[in-house]
């Protein structure tokens, strides 16, 4: 899709969504309508190719490699695409909320807690990949679960049950014991793609993108 086509689609979707919301409530609430429209429009566009229009190169590469890992593990292209699409939707919606100053001071403090926990998870993934026979399943699952709880504590008041369910689907998939045990074996069939994922995580952490 060209840039002009993308802008035209955004305009048409925003007008359509605006009209639907005004007709449904019969009340003009520009801030609420604008916020919901942004989340709805960008959520509709949550594909890997469209995401690259909004996401930097390192993060896009990470998404591509996570997709490859999901596809290899499940043997299901559609399931892998859905999982990555869910990640993109989550990131987009949280970004919209943040840009529109929707988080309270308490939620922003929780966001710092999530950031610390998620960075710890990333560092653990890097360490377990780079140093053979250090993998600790229970530790990594606990770290992933803590990040999941921390993230939901921030966004729960702002997202629908469907969106919260997407968060659970993503974290539950990457916290699966079979996936983790297979991925971190020294002779893992996922060794090559895991190396690319670790390289992407390292790059993204260095630039502050994740």
Q: Based on the domain organization, do 60 and 37 belong to the same domain?
A: no
Q: Report how far residue 144's alpha carbon sits from residue 141's, in angstroms, rounded to the nearest whole number.
A: 5
pLDDT class for 56, splitting at 50, 70, 90? low
CATH of the domain at 143: 1.20.1440.160
Question: Under a CB-based contact definition with an 8 Å cutoff, are residues 102 and 31 in contact?
Answer: no
Distances (CA, A) of 96 to 30, 101, 139, 161, 163: 15, 9, 32, 18, 14
Q: What is the pLDDT of residue 26?
A: 45
Q: Report how far residue 203's alpha carbon sits from residue 78's, in angstroms, rounded to the nearest whole number.
A: 28
Check pLDDT > 60 for residue 50: no
| 51 lies in some domain | no
Question: Under a CB-based contact definition with an 8 Å cutoff, are residues 170 and 87 in contact?
Answer: yes
Domain with 69 in it? 56-207
Over the stretch 132-180, which tens digit does the pLDDT of each residue have?
A: 889 999 999 999 999 999 999 999 999 999 999 999 999 999 999 999 9
Q: Based on the domain organization, do 29 and 109 belong to the same domain?
A: no
Question: Under a CB-based contact definition with an 8 Å cutoff, are residues 13 and 44 in contact?
Answer: yes
Q: Tally the domains of the chain.
A: 2
Which residues neighbour 140 within 8 Å (Cβ) at sequence distance 6 or greater?
Answer: 121, 124, 125, 128, 175, 180
Sign of the torsion formed by the C-alpha atoms of 23, 27, 28 and 29? negative
Q: Based on the domain organization, do 28 and 82 belong to the same domain?
A: no
pTM as predicted: 0.76
Q: Based on the domain organization, do 28 and 73 belong to the same domain?
A: no
Distances (CA, A) of 149 to 34, 81, 90, 108, 199: 28, 24, 15, 15, 26
Q: Based on the domain organization, do 91 and 182 belong to the same domain?
A: yes
């Amino acid at each position: 899709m060209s840039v002009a086509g993308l802008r035209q689609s955004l305009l048409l979707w925003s007008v359509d969504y605006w009209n639907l919301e005004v007709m449904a409530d019969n009340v003009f609430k520009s801030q609420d309508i604008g916020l919901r429209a942004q989340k709805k429009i960008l959520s509709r566009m949550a594909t890997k190719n469209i995401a690259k229009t909004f996401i930097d190169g390192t993060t896009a590469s990470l998404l591509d490699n996570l997709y490859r890992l999901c596809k290899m593990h499940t043997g299901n292209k559609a399931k892998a695409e859905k999982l990555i699409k869910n990640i993109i939707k989550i990131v987009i919606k949280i970004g919209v909320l943040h840009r529109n100053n929707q988080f309270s001071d308490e939620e922003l403090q929780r966001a710092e807690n999530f950031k610390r926990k998620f960075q710890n998870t990333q560092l653990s993934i890097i360490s377990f990949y780079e140093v053979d026979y250090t993998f600790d399943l229970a530790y990594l699952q606990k770290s992933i679960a803590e990040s999941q709880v921390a993230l939901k504590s921030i966004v729960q008041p702002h997202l629908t049950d469907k969106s919260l369910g997407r968060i659970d689907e993503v974290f539950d998939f990457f916290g699966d014991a079979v996936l983790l045990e297979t991925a971190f074996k020294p002779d893992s069939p996922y060794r090559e793609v895991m190396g690319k994922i670790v390289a992407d995580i390292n790059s993204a952490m260095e630039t502050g993108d994740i």
